[in-house]
């Protein structure tokens, strides 16, 4: 994977345009707020799409099935989305995946990927990430009622994003669970197998958390957030254990 970042919107567009003109689809990181086809207008600067074409007015993209799959957005809005500032944003990040002629050892790739991911997870640069972030959330979640001006709207949106948009909830855990299962079939390993079993339970627990947050919003009842807090405390410990196991691969 080759990445490109620049603070110049002009250079960023030329980079993408040249790749598309050469028949190479380009991955883009952007803020979904500016995309024409997004009906829920929220700022989230770590959304990813694949761009495969353009004309004088529109960029043609592949997004998630939930967002419509094959979609289009105006070029000016794409520029705004790519150049947005704020949390999790990048400087017009684009990337391509290139082919390699030499054969790749999937076993080596699996070992490297799992080990590196576990190391990053267990050593977060700030306390808002990884198991430390989950533990912190378990402590502050009960205060959401005091911070929100619209409990029902805010909490149901948080639950939706966690469960369907992949921002740290069950969706990502489902993906990682399945990745570990496929990895164990290619490279049978006790640590991968144990990690897979743990993530089966972890994924279900995250769905339970998002369901409780949604229930708290729908009923405007704090008790569901307190239940979610207890599960998050448990998840913080379980995920750390799972990553310590996978680190030993």
How many CB atoms sit inside 10 A of residue 168's CB? 15
φ, ψ at 96 (rounded to 5°): -130, 155
Distance CA 223, CA 225 (A): 5
pLDDT at 6 (0 to 100): 97
In 3D space, the residue among 129, 90, 156 whose CA is nearest the CA of residue 164 turns out to be 156
How big is the chain, counted in residues?
A: 249
Over residues 107-116, the pLDDT tens digits come to 999 999 999 9
CATH number of 2-96: 3.90.70.10
* Prediction pTM value: 0.77
pLDDT at 167 (0 to 100): 59
Chain centroid to Cα 173, Å, comes to 10
pLDDT at 201 (0 to 100): 96
> What kind and span of H or E run contains 62?
strand 58-62
Give yes or no for a contact between 77 and 62, defined as CB atoms under 8 angstroms apart.
Answer: no
Residue with tokens 């379980």: 238
Q: Six-digit token pair at 240? A: 């750390």
Distance CA 162, CA 168 (A): 6
Distance CA 189, CA 170 (A): 24
φ, ψ at 51 (rounded to 5°): -105, 130
User: CB burial class (10 A; 0-12, 13-18, 19+) of residue 128?
Assistant: exposed
Buried residues in 147-163 as b, exposed as e (16+ CB within 10 A): eeeebeebbbbbbbbbb
Hey, where are the domains in the chain?
2-96, 106-247
pLDDT at 243 (0 to 100): 97
The beta-carbon contacts of 15-24 under 8 Å, at least 24 apart in sequence, are 15/94, 16/51, 16/94, 17/54, 19/94, 19/96, 20/51, 20/52, 20/53, 20/54, 24/96
pLDDT at 65 (0 to 100): 82
Q: Which CATH number fits domain 106-247: 1.10.150, 1.10.3470, 3.40.1620, 1.20.120?
A: 1.20.120
pLDDT at 64 (0 to 100): 86
In 3D space, the residue among 138, 202, 195, 134 whose CA is nearest the CA of residue 173 turns out to be 202
For the chain, residues with pLDDT lower than 70 are 166-169
pLDDT at 164 (0 to 100): 77
Torsion angle of C-alpha atoms 112, 178, 173, 243, degrees rounded to 10: -40
Over residues 105-154, the pLDDT tens digits come to 999 999 999 999 999 999 988 888 899 999 999 999 989 988 888 999 99
Distance CA 17, CA 59 (A): 10
């Amino acid at each position: 994977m080759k990445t490109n970042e620049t603070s110049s919107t002009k250079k960023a567009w030329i980079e993408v345009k040249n790749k598309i003109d050469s028949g190479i689809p380009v991955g883009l990181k952007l803020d979904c707020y500016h995309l024409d086809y997004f009906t829920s207008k929220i700022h989230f600067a770590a959304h990813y799409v694949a761009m495969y074409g353009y004309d004088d007015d529109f960029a043609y993209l592949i997004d998630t099935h939930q967002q419509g799959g094959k979609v289009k957005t105006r070029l000016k809005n794409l520029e705004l989305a790519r150049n947005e500032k704020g949390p999790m944003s990048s400087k017009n990040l684009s990337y391509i995946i290139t082919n390699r002629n030499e054969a790749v050892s999937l076993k080596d790739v699996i070992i490297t990927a799992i080990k590196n991911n576990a190391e990053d997870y267990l050593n977060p640069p700030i306390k808002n990430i990884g198991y430390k972030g989950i533990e912190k959330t378990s402590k502050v979640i009960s205060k959401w009622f005091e911070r929100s001006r619209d409990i029902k709207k805010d909490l149901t949106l948080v639950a939706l994003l966690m469960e369907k948009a992949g921002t740290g909830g069950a969706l990502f855990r489902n993906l990682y669970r399945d990745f570990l299962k496929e990895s164990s079939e290619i490279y049978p390993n006790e640590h991968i197998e144990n990690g897979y079993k743990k993530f089966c339970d972890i994924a279900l627990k995250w769905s339970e958390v998002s369901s409780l947050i949604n229930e708290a919003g729908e009923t405007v009842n704090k008790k569901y957030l307190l239940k979610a807090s207890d599960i998050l405390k448990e998840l913080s410990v379980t995920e750390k254990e799972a990553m310590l196991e996978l680190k030993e691969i």
